[in-house]
């Protein structure tokens, strides 16, 4: 078990906080950098959203083959994973839009 003496951490934490608070350029640059990263990642996000359906079809076909061969539990796990993955990838941009609108 790791034991941390909080009294020893006060000075480094205070120093780090003071450094961050006295550097206004990081505060002003953060929204610009965040927007730039989001714009650069849009092609990757679109690629993932477009590639999810063919991959899901392939895995579903494979899980049906497994089901026909008698591996019912493994087939059900694969189907469940595909459903969670497709829904997650389709809803992930919407979730991040909500986070960005809130200001996180």
Buried b (16+ CB within 10 A) or exposed e, 32-66: eeeeeeeeeeeeeeeeeeeebeeebeebbeebeeb
First to last CA, the chain: 33
User: What's the predicted TM-score (pTM) here?
Assistant: 0.55
| Interval 31-75: pLDDT, tens | 566 667 777 878 888 888 888 889 999 999 999 999 999 999 999
Residue 1 pLDDT class (50, 70, 90 cuts) = very low
Token readout for 34 is 């965040």
Say yes or no to pLDDT of 10 above 60: no
């Amino acid at each position: 078990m790791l034991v941390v003496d909080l009294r020893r951490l006060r000075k480094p934490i205070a120093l780090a906080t003071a450094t961050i608070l006295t550097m206004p350029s990081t505060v002003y640059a953060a929204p610009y950098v965040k927007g730039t990263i989001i714009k650069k990642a849009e092609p990757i996000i679109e690629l993932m959203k477009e590639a999810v359906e063919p991959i899901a079809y392939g895995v579903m076909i494979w899980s049906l083959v497994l089901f026909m061969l008698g591996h019912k539990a493994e087939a059900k796990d694969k189907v469940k994973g595909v459903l969670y993955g497709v829904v997650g990838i389709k809803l992930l941009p919407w979730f991040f839009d909500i986070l960005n609108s809130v200001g996180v």
